[in-house]
Amino acid sequence: MYRKVGAGIVAALHLIVGEGNVLIGNEKMEPYTHDEVVGLHADPEIVVKAASAEQISEILKLAQQERVPVTPRGAGTGLSGGAVPVCGGIVLSLEKMNRIPEIDRENLMVTVEPGVITGELHRTVEAEGLFYPPDPASLDTCSIGGNIAEGSGGPRAVKYGVTKDYVCSLEAVLPSGEIVTCGRKLVKDVTGYNLTQLLIGSEGTLAVVTKIILRVIPLPKLRVDLLVPFDDFQAAADTVSDIIGRRIVPAAIEFMERDAILASEQFLEKEAPYHDAEAQLLIQLDDNHQEAIDADFEIAGEICLKHGARDVLVAKDRPTRDRMWEVRRQIIPALKFQSPINHMQDLTVPRAKIGMLLKGIKEIARKHSVRIVCFGHAGDGNVHVNTLKDSMPDDRWQSLVPIVVDEEIYGLTLSLGGMLTGEHGIGVTRRRYLPMALDDAQIKILRGIKAVFDPNGILNPGKIFL
């Protein structure tokens, strides 16, 4: 179906981006063969680093004419294989488009290029007293373009929402090479179908995003982080639903079970506080008024203690706070380090059902004598569930995954009114489960949308659909 990248295409790409921005047939292409999914690799035929929407337009026109697949790539931290060139062809890297051309203080908007690292955006706007809340745990390594394409979230989603809640406008290049601007620097805009929101979470399959206008808000003046250890896994899980039910809205409520904390501690080679606790909650409160923080702190603390929390450790200064969050942020690489073969799920359920989900997962783990480690954004009903191979024999692992993952964990999640993925996307790794969650009519519409944008299927093929 697709053509190979021949000498003519290589020469044309050299002309578009300059020879120094093309990698072909050398070991420098290795980083572009994978993202952060364990065991998923595919070789691109060529890697091209673009510097502008106009260059990307030329690349896509060429790819269209030659029927060569193009896989957009941000920083390669994805957890569903979205940036992996499973059909070969061109990897289109956005890493050079990493400027923040404007902070508009009057309209509270910031304009960014897709290759900007999310943590860099945070630091830049915070220096102006402004706040861009979405904070994926990978924020020091992922790009804002990748966040848009995946519809990323982060711990602060409990109070502030996710990436899609901050995007006002996107400039994007369609697979035809046309450059479009969806939305404007507007808080309100209902002019036609909402193409901006359609592109968010489209996993690089509909268009390549080249410029983004984001809404920012004033930076809250006060922040307190609490670390709450529990000697009972289920008590920690139930506390989350209880806090939400009591109508206080912390900025974040993260859940970490003991195996996740110990893995992170081992990986970081630093002792984590309360590392012997069965589970911990990391709760962040913020506001502009001390009385409001104090009131929420009192209620949250009281609920935690009622559920049997061993302590409520308060971090008011930056070093203590950073130490607490470092343990949380390193859990994914730490688990990968402990068990290089593992299966990670990104389950999402109604927030009040998080305790039931975690309980059910532990029962599945016990039933199959397999280590399943849970952590994540429990306050939004979104947890990451890692089934670890550890030293299990290969044949047992091969037969276990379809039962534990496909049938039992996804089955439980869907039965609780949940979905397959809250923020990591379908990509390659969850394609086969899509029909479990969406009916035929919905999948037909999704395929129809893809066909309207990309009738020849050149943009990021092999993603979302089988």
Applying CB under 6 A, which residues contact ligand FAD?
35-36, 71-79, 82-83, 94, 114, 136-138, 142-143, 145-147, 149-150, 152-154, 203-204, 208-209, 332-333, 423-424, 460
Pick the closer one to ligand FAD by CB: 201 or 355.
201
Four-residue CA torsion sign, 434, 436, 437, 442: positive
Shortest reach from residue 105's CB to ligand FAD, in Å? 26
Q: If we measure between CA atoms, which residue out of 182, 189, 249 comes closest to residue 220?
A: 249
Pick the closer one to ligand FAD by CB: 36 or 286.
36
Shortest reach from residue 354's CB to ligand FAD, in Å? 16
d(CA 39, CA 442): 30
Pick the closer one to ligand FAD by CB: 190 or 452.
452
Pick the closer one to ligand FAD by CB: 238 or 257.
257
Shortest reach from residue 311's CB to ligand FAD, in Å? 26
Pick the closer one to ligand FAD by CB: 204 or 457.
204
Pick the closer one to ligand FAD by CB: 307 or 330.
330
The count of other CB atoms within 10 Å of the CB of residue 60 is 26
Shortest reach from residue 194's CB to ligand FAD, in Å? 17
- Residue 20: phi, psi to the nearest 5? -65, -15
Shortest reach from residue 434's CB to ligand FAD, in Å? 15
Four-residue CA torsion sign, 326, 327, 329, 333: positive
Pick the closer one to ligand FAD by CB: 78 or 360.
78
Shortest reach from residue 240's CB to ligand FAD, in Å? 17
Shortest reach from residue 315's CB to ligand FAD, in Å? 20
Pick the closer one to ligand FAD by CB: 303 or 413.
413
Shortest reach from residue 188's CB to ligand FAD, in Å? 25
Q: Is 85 left (phi over 0), alpha (psi -120 to 50) or beta?
A: beta
Q: How many residues are given for the chain?
A: 466
Q: Which residues pair with 346 in a beta bridge?
A: 384, 421
Shortest reach from residue 152's CB to ligand FAD, in Å? 3
Report the residue closest to ligand FAD, judged by CB. Answer: 146
Q: What share of the chain is helix, strand, coil (3-state, %, to 5)?
A: 40, 20, 40
Cβ(423)–Cβ(152) below 8 Å:
yes
Burial of 187 by CB count in 10 Å (0-12 exposed, 13-18 middle, 19+ buried)?
A: exposed
d(CA 104, CA 137): 27
d(CA 377, CA 391): 28
Shortest reach from residue 113's CB to ligand FAD, in Å? 9
**Run of H or E including 168:** strand 167-173
Shortest reach from residue 432's CB to ligand FAD, in Å? 17
Query: Which residues, other chains included, contact 24 with Cβ-Cβ below 8 Å and sequence gap of 6+?
Result: 10, 45, 46, 47
Q: Which residues pair with 70 in a beta bridge?
A: 90, 459
Burial 314-342 (b: 16+ CB within 10 A, else e): ebeeeeebebbbebbbbbbebbbebbeeb
257 token code pair: 């079970």
d(CA 27, CA 10): 17
Pick the closer one to ligand FAD by CB: 203 or 296.
203
d(CA 278, CA 328): 15
Pick the closer one to ligand FAD by CB: 72 or 133.
72
Q: Provide the CA 324 distance to its chain's centre, in angstroms.
A: 21
Pick the closer one to ligand FAD by CB: 57 or 303.
57
> H-type helices in 307-353, by residue range?
318-329, 331-338
d(CA 167, CA 216): 9
Pick the closer one to ligand FAD by CB: 235 or 386.
386
CA dihedral 79, 85, 90, 92 (to 10 degrees): 0
Shortest reach from residue 368's CB to ligand FAD, in Å? 26
